[in-house]
A and B are shown apart, each in its own frame.
Chain A
């Protein structure tokens, strides 16, 4: 060892301390990338504080203005903005609650029970992730029309309440974090199978439920194609649809529209600030392990 070490020592040190030039280049690259990533958000909020004529001038405003109140008034005069935000929230909340329940239940079954056909059935669950969503658009529209679910939120949350991604996520978590002995203990104490899920397993799923809940909430909040097909009357519009309807009119008040955009995105940014790590890990875990 003593003979080898003089030769080895310099190499690891070189690994840690990258050459100053390449390190500087890396910093520059990362900083530039970060600025370009953040810039549209910055402009989103800056534009929300300017009126239309100021947004479209050269150079465009780069600092906050004082037309926020005016834009906000104009937004409320044109469209029922808070109504649409409530619709979005209502839809996202129900989607999240039902998804958490059904996905954790199914994930629990796949993780903890040995039953005939388990591998095959789980294979089907995963295979459904591969069906392109585009294929489903037209039949989805037709079915909802036939069911009379047009203009109702259930057209959106019912089909999605036991999604494959959520089941996968919950199965991974329950399988790796919760020992099977707990089930046996529950049985000895006389709990029913559902009782074991509800009283023992569910309370231990906190982190995974949190992640899945955030992902479901955000996806629902942002969804556009589904609501575009389902919601026809303005009072049922979710926030993205309302923004789209504001953009589509001939004489768009861009200041008002940007206030709407900012208010729609703000909740997401707040969630992200507090839970970015959990979200990133949850969203990518499916791809990493699958």
Chain B
């Protein structure tokens, strides 16, 4: 106030200039934290990872010990049978845990959508709750449920086996879920399916609700059966959501870490069947202390994810799952 009284002519112009200045640059300042953090913890690490993938380096020995080795880290990885095993196991696990999620979620979402308006909120919440739960806590719980001699899951199978008629569908022997090569992946997949099915239900439900009702009514007027309505209205219009949900599952499943890590007690299970690519990468970095090799593995994994996402885009994104006329 005093300043304004003493310099009556200049003050407003400085004030206006300051106002214009801050108005002009305020948005840049407001978004700058993101970009600073992204440069420091997003972009720089990735560029560093690219550089590192051509070096031989044990991080504990200090920066000066880096040695340029050309493509050797890549060739070493690509000729390492354990890396290919980890990739193969990641794929089979991704399929085993990815496909059922959607095959279960679509009918569930459809059933909720069909006529259970009142129960819709609570039911969706029940299906969704695994998604927000600590993976470690739930994997530890499943670890006990999968127990060979005394686990609840084997107990349930035994009980089902003793039923008349359908009992024959279930094995008489207890399954050594976490101790045998053949069962470790199904066990991990079961936990993943349990955790993510509800997430997909929510996505599909939202997709179903975005389909205009009058389309069904018009079809009903034209004499279309429910099955036909599902085939010619629901599926095609649900396609964008399917594409999105499948993409999310694909990207997530190729980076599975926590469930296999806990269920195999960090070790990868018998025959390393439960070792995923990310687990193997972290092990290469931590236990084998080879940062260059792990960096190259990171890029190889990135290429695999990018290629598969692209393929998914080509196959499902455009031509569609079922919707093409």
Contacts and interface: CB of A to CB of B under 8 A. Distances in A.
Query: Which of A33, A56, A118 gathers the greatest number of chain B CB atoms within 10 Å?
Result: A33
Given A37-B194, A43-B141, A167-B34, A134 B59 contact: no
A268 to B, nearest CB: 6
Interface string B257-277: 110001001100000000001
Interface stretch (A64-72, A75-83, A203-211, A258-266): A258-266
Nearest to B216: A15
Given A15-B217, A30-B116, A55-B144, A222 B133 contact: yes
A248 B136 CA distance: 12
A56 B149 contact: yes
Contacts of B52: 138-139, 142
Contacts of B82: none
A243 B136 contact: yes
Interface residues of B, number: 97
B75 to A, nearest CB: 19
Contacts of A194: 26
Interface residues of A, number: 96
B108 to A, nearest CB: 6
A159 B144 contact: no
Contacts of A221: 134
Nearest to A239: B134
Given A142-B291, A288-B206, A108 B217 contact: no
A40 B140 contact: no
A148 interface: no
Contacts of B254: 132, 134
Given A138-B294, A139-B45, A224 B258 contact: yes
Interface of A: 8, 11-12, 14-16, 18, 23, 26-27, 29-30, 33-34, 36-38, 40-41, 43-44, 47, 55-60, 102, 105-106, 108-110, 113, 115, 118, 121, 124-125, 128, 131-143, 145, 158-159, 161-162, 164, 167, 187, 192-194, 197, 218, 221-222, 224-225, 229, 239-241, 243-244, 247-248, 254, 257-258, 261, 264-265, 268-269, 272, 276-277, 279-280, 283-284, 287-288
Given A37-B130, A56-B150, A280-B124, 7 more contacts: A29-B107, A33-B127, A33-B197, A58-B149, A142-B45, A194-B26, A265-B137
